[in-house]
Structure 1
Amino acid sequence: MTHRDEFQALLRSRYLNLETFRRNGTGVRTPVWFAHDSGTTRPDGRAALYVYSNQRTGKLKRLRHTARVRIARCSIGGTLKGRWFETRARVLDDPIEQQHALGVLQKRYGLLMRLAGWAAAVVGRLGERRVIRIEMPIV
């Protein structure tokens, strides 16, 4: 499979393995939901991948000190199904961009995303959600 074909397969995948890095360089892998935004609805016109997580998670803490990440398609349990792509990511601080990203995720995951939001609201953590923007790797 070519580099480009592998990346297209990643975009079709249901789960993404997101590897963030500790200060000592050790990678920590986490299977996550993600959604692709082609950039057509974004003010800057740039494509990106979005992931959301609770602000207390290790991956958000690690992203605050380094933007370096690796991504690969995977199963729900994190078993790799494709090759790794090196790229960069950041936690969104702009509430408008965060709402846009949550809308992109909602469109992809529908009822499952609504149920996750409901569960977060029930336990009082809905306001702790943060969105990670992953830059599109060059393929």
Structure 2
Amino acid sequence: MSVPAEITASKQINLTTYRKDGTPVPTPVWHVVQGNTLTTVSGADAWKVKRIRNNPQVEVTACDIRGKVAPGARSVRGTAVLLPLTETENARRLMESRYVSARIGGWFTRVFHIKRPAAVGIVITL
């Protein structure tokens, strides 16, 4: 399945993960689309990462920066995979290619050798 144009064009998506009891938890995140996959990066100790470890089934919907979904927005189901540390850096570079804020932050960490908190890349196949 290809990524809907609405999700490709949006700057943020609601990444909905599921608790062990099945309760959905939407979180707005930045993303980069490549073919039929979405890539994002999150803190390694974030709750969404823990929920993905328990249940890789996710749902994505285009949203605004605060996570508000437009009426009638289409949701798409997918499967999330957590990337190893070596591939997470590539995911960060992808994020930098789309988002100026990520590019500036990445530049500062490289130039001034700032240690970043542990992160994990997430690839969602739709």
TM-score by length of 2: 0.84
- The question of whether the paired residues in 2 share the 8 Å contact of 1:36 and 1:104 is answered with no
Identity of aligned residues (%): 28
Equivalent pairs, count: 120
Identify the residue that residue 98 of structure 2 maps to in structure 1. Answer: 108
Say which SS state the counterpart of residue 11 (structure 1) adopts.
helix
5 Å-filtered alignment, 1:86-105, equals 86-93=77-84, 95=86, 97-105=87-95
- Structure with higher strand content: 2
- The question of whether the paired residues in 2 share the 8 Å contact of 1:35 and 1:104 is answered with yes
Identify the residue that residue 70 of structure 1 maps to in structure 2. Answer: 59
- The question of whether the paired residues in 1 share the 8 Å contact of 2:13 and 2:63 is answered with yes
TM-score by length of 1: 0.76
> Runs of 5+ in structure 1 lacking a partner?
39-46
Q: What is the CA-CA distance between 1:114 and the residue it aligns to?
A: 3.1
Identify the residue that residue 33 of structure 2 maps to in structure 1. Answer: 36
- Structure with higher helix content: 1
Q: CA RMSD in A?
A: 2.3
| Residue type at the aligned position of 1:63 | I
5 Å-filtered alignment, 1:1-139, equals 7-38=4-35, 47-81=36-70, 82-93=73-84, 95=86, 97-110=87-100, 112-117=101-106, 118=108, 124=115, 126-135=116-125, 137=126
> Runs of 5+ in structure 2 lacking a partner?
none
- The question of whether the paired residues in 1 share the 8 Å contact of 2:37 and 2:123 is answered with yes
Q: Please identify runs of 4+ aligned residues in structure 1 that moved more than 6 A.
A: none
| Residue type at the aligned position of 2:83 | L
| Residue type at the aligned position of 1:90 | V
Could you tell me how far apart the structure 1 residues matched to 2:41 and 2:105 are?
A: 11
